[in-house]
Structure 1
Amino acid sequence: MTAERPERPVRADRPQSAPGTAGASGADRPRVAGQRPRRPAAEPRRQTRGTQRRDAIVRAAAELILENGPTSVTHRTVAARADVPLAATTYYFSGLDELVEAAGRLLVSRWTAHTREVAERTDLPDTPEGRAERIVDALGPSGDDAAVRGFYEHLVVAGRSDVLGRTYAATRTQLDDTVRDLLDRLGLDLSPQLVIAVVDGAALTGLSEGRPVRPVALARMRELVRTVSGEDGA
C-alpha cells in the first residue's frame, strides 16, 4: 500500500488568491499601483479616418465630373485626384456607379446649399432688376468663365451617364424647393422649374455664342420678372 503524501505546507508570506480568482485574466486582476491603464480600442479613430478618406474620394469624383464630365471618373483618376491608394476606391465603393451616384448627390447638395444661402439674405430687393439679379446669383455657378463653362458643359453630358442622370432627377426636388422659397420671399408667382430653365437656357445661349453667361442670364431674367410683375420693357 502506498503511503499518503503529506500536504505541502503553505508559506506564510505568500499571498493567497481569493476564491474564484485562480487563472483570472489580466483584465480581471486589480491594477497594481503605478501600472499604466490599458489603452482604449482605436476603432473610433479608424472609423473617423475611414470616413475622411471616403469623403475625399467622393469630392475628387465630383471635381472630375464638373471639369471633364462623368466619363472621366475612373478608379485611377479618382485615386490620383484624392491622393489615396488605388485600392481605396474599390474598398469604399462597390463600383464606379456607386461612386458616381455619391458624387452626384454631393454636387446637388452643394448647389442647394448655395441657393439657400442666397435665398436667406435679409436685404430683399424691391425692384424687378434687383429681384432678377438675386435669382441669377442664386442659380448661377460661382467661379471664373472656365468654371461656368465647365458647369454647363457637364450638365449637357450628364444624361449620357445613366447613373448621374438618375441621381440628378431623384434629387431635383431639393433644389426646386429651395428656389420656391426664394421666389416666395421675392413675391414672385413663378414656378421653380421655369426660373431654372430660363437661367440654364440663357447660360447655354451665351456659351454657344461666345458671350459672357451672366449678362445674358440677367437680361432674360429681367424680362421674365418684369412680365410677371406687370411691367413692360426688356
Structure 2
Amino acid sequence: MTDGRRARGEQRRAALVGAAVALVREGGPAAVSHRAVAARAGASLSATTYYFADLDELLAAAGAELAEQWAAHARAVAARERSSAAQALVDAVLPPGDDRVLRGHYEHLAGAGRLPALAGAYARGRAALDAAIAGLGLPWPTEVLVALVDGAALAALSEGRDVRAHAREVVARVV
C-alpha cells in the first residue's frame, strides 16, 4: 500500500471512529450501528465493516477515543491556573458543555457497562483520567474524587439543579 493510500485509510478510519464517538455522546451506545456510523461519517456502509471486524471493535475504538478525550480535557484543566480546588476538580471531571451535554455524558456512561467492548475501553482509559486528576494535587484517591463529582452531578441532574454549581458546592465542602 502506498503512503497516500495508507494515509487516506487512516483518515477514513478516524472519521468512522469520530462518527461513532459523536453518536455515543448524542444517543448513548445504543445509537451506534454500522449504518448510523457510515451515514454520520459520509462513508459507505461497507467502509465500517472494512475497517472494523464487527460493531464491538468499532465501539471499543470509540470508547478508547472518548476516554482519551476525557483524560486530555482533565489534563488541560490541571495545567491551568485555578481559583479553587473545587472548581478545578469539577472542571476536570465534567466534560465541557451545558446540562444537556452533561446528561448525555452520564447516560452514555451508565449504558457503557452493558457493552463489554465499550466498558473495557473505558476501564483501560481510566488510568489516564486518574493520572490527570492526580495532577490537581489533591490529597485524596482519584477514584474518590471522581466519584464525588459524579455523585454530585447525578444528584443535580436528577433534581433539576444546575449541575456545575451543585457539584462545586458539594466538592467545596469536602476539599
Q: TM-score, normalised by structure 2?
A: 0.96
Whole-angstrom CA distance in 2 between matches of 1:166 and 1:212: 31
Other-structure match for 2:170? 220
2:148 to 184, 198, 208: 198
Whole-Å separation in 1 of the counterparts to 2:82 and 2:54: 46
Alignment of 1:45-194 (within 5 A): 45-121=4-80, 123-125=81-83, 130-182=84-136, 184=137, 188-194=138-144
Report the Cα distance in structure 2 between the residues aligned to 1:144 and 1:170, rounded to whole angstroms: 27
By relative contact order (CA 8 Å, sep 6+), the higher-ranking structure is 2
Computed over aligned residues only, the root mean square deviation of the Cα atoms, in angstroms, reads 1.2
What is the rounded CA distance, in whole Å, between the counterparts of 1:137 and 1:155 in structure 2?
Answer: 18
Structure 1 residue runs without a partner (length 5+): 1-41, 226-234
Segments of 5+ residues of structure 2 without an aligned counterpart are: none
Q: Structure 1 vs Structure 2: percent identity of aligned residues?
A: 49
Higher helix share: 2
The equivalent residue for 1:29 is none
SS in 1 for 2:140: coil
Q: Deviations over 1:62-101 (max 9, x none)?
A: 1111111112111100000111011000000101010000
What is the rounded CA distance, in whole Å, between the counterparts of 1:210 and 1:156 in structure 2?
19
Amino acid at match of 1:140: L
Separation in 2, partners of 1:138, 1:167: 20
Q: 1:134 and 1:174 mapped to 2: Cα distance?
A: 17
Q: Distance in 1 between matches of 2:139 and 2:99?
A: 31
Could you tell me how far 1:111 is from its partner in structure 2?
Answer: 0.6
CA contact under 8 A between 2:73 and 2:95: conserved in structure 1?
Answer: no
Q: Deviations over 1:155-190 (max 9, x none)?
A: 1111111211122112211111111121x2xxx311
Shift of 1:221: 0.5
